[in-house]
Amino acid sequence: MGEQFKEQSYHLSDSEFKENEDRNLTEIEVCHATIFSLIEERIKRDVVLSCIVDSIRLTQKMLCQIGCQMHEQFQEFELVESNLEDLSDELVIETGSICKIVNLLESSFREYEKMRKKEKRELESSILSLTEENRDISGLLKIAIMEKEAMEKRSKGNNGDNRRAAIFQMAEKGLQKVGFGFVMGVLSGDNNQAESVASCNSSTKSDASDGEKEVVSLVVTVENIMKNLRTEINDLRRSLDESRLNCERLQTLADDHAEKLEKNEQYIKDLKEREALLSNSVDELTREITIAGEEIARWREACELEVEAGKSSIKELEKEYNVQMLQLKDELHRTKAALETSNNKLQLKERLATTAMAAQAAAETCLRLADSRSAGLRDRIEELTRELEGEEGGNFRRERRRGAHRRVRHVCWPWQGLGFSPAASRVRNWHPIGNRRSVPEMEALLRIRI
């Protein structure tokens, strides 16, 4: 019973060991298949990433060329080719550089748009100022022409002083009609010039030439006043445009800051949520790690026990294997001895067969010789029988002639008396046996004595 129990436990351990080996082989094959599939996916991903990196580099070069045409800041930007083995890191670096280039392009484009808007506003303001100047000049010219004609009609009989006063009154009225007050403070700056011109005119020329010079001086003063006013208006318009631009910039900055603040608040909220999720995930991972550590310890103990059992079963298998090997060696020695004896017997049989064949060949040769001799002897016997028949016939006739009272006491060849015909018997008893010819007349020849 103990031996049967040992055999059953041995068979069970062997089957379990084989099952574990099969399971490990299947797991290894699955691992190899997964590794090959992962390698193929990695190769495909590397190919796709290399294509993406090449396209990103081309777009980066194109963006740099566009930026160099728009702004001088891009000339200082250098394209750095990274020689990284990992394509993912290279892709991250290239995307970061493209983001920088796009930000620079965006800022330069905004500056360019602002400059264009500013130039457009300046051009629009200059166009408006020129149109207003044209209107003012045309209106002033019309008014001056009308007033001059009226004053010429009135001042035909007046003196030079009265004519000058009338001209100043006409200019003041014309300016008041246009919309500008003829301020004395403005004229005070040009009084010296007017007085010098008036003194020169009064001292050098006649009354007609004095009137024309006074008109010219008045026109010059009016033009200077208009130019000063226009420059002031343009300066005010420019300052107003700059203040508007500053207000727009401040508004855009305020909007950008508000958007950034909202984004930062949202980002802070997301970070807090992520922090909470990460803390929860960390706690869960720590729990899982502890559970996994306990399971690993259990599996390690189980594996150690299985290893010990396997070692013991391997030792038992080695012992049985050695015993079986010894038995097989003994059986091999026995089979070798039996094979040697059988080989010797076969050799003896072959020798006997060769000797038997040689004896058979010698017997055949002897039979052939005997056949040839028997044929010769038969021919000889036939000749002798013919001779004897002839002699017997002669003797019989002689004796018959001598007398029948004498009786034959001995016949040497009593074939006629016995009714035996050697030719007929030879023909009747000649038959082949196998491949050899047998001569049955040999027995008759042995019985007959010549």
Cβ-contact 171, 222 below 8 angstroms: yes
Return the pLDDT at 16: 72
Residue 171, classified by CB atoms within 10 Å of its CB into exposed (0-12), middle (13-18) or buried (19+), is: buried
Return the pLDDT at 81: 52
Q: Which helix (H) or strand (E) holds 437?
A: strand 436-438
Lowest mean pLDDT among 56-60, 224-228, 238-242, 417-421: 417-421
Return the pLDDT at 263: 76
**Residue showing tokens 């007046």:** 158
Tokens of 209: 């030439």
Residue 298 pLDDT > 60: yes
pLDDT-derived band at 55 (thresholds 50, 70, 90) equals: confident
Q: What sign has the CA pseudo-torsion 115, 119, 124, 125?
A: positive
Cβ-contact 100, 61 below 8 angstroms: no
Cβ-contact 234, 128 below 8 angstroms: no
Q: What is the pLDDT of residues 308-358, one digit of tens each?
A: 888 888 888 888 888 888 999 999 999 999 999 989 999 998 999 899 899
Coil vs helix vs strand at 433: strand
Residue 287 pLDDT > 70: yes
Give the domain ranges of the chain.
Answer: 1-136, 137-263
Residue 304 pLDDT > 60: yes
Residues counted in the chain: 450
Sequential DSSP letters for 234-287: HHHHHHHHHHHHHHHHHHHHHHHHHHHHHHHHHHHHHHHHHHHHHHHHHHHHHH
In terms of pLDDT, which residue wins out, 157 or 435? 157
Distance CA 375, CA 369 (A): 10
Look up residue 185 and give its amino acid.
Answer: G
Distance CA 319, CA 313 (A): 10
Sequential DSSP letters for 331-342: HHHHHHHHHHHH
- Which of 46-60, 96-110, 207-221, 371-385 is the most confident on average? 371-385
pLDDT-derived band at 168 (thresholds 50, 70, 90) equals: low
In terms of pLDDT, which residue wins out, 57 or 373? 373
DSSP type of residue 73: G
Residue 61 pLDDT > 50: yes
Report CA dihedral (97, 102, 105, 106) to the nearest 10 degrees. Answer: -140
Cβ-contact 56, 95 below 8 angstroms: yes
Distance CA 187, CA 314 (A): 128
Distance CA 270, CA 166 (A): 84
Residue 117 pLDDT > 60: yes
Sorted by sequence, the CB contacts under 8 Å of residue 316 that are 6+ apart come out as: 10
Residue 273 pLDDT > 50: yes
**Residue showing tokens 């018959």:** 400
Q: What is the pLDDT of residues 229-271, one digit of tens each?
A: 777 777 777 777 777 777 777 677 767 766 776 776 787 677 6
- Which of 29-43, 57-71, 415-429 is the most confident on average? 29-43
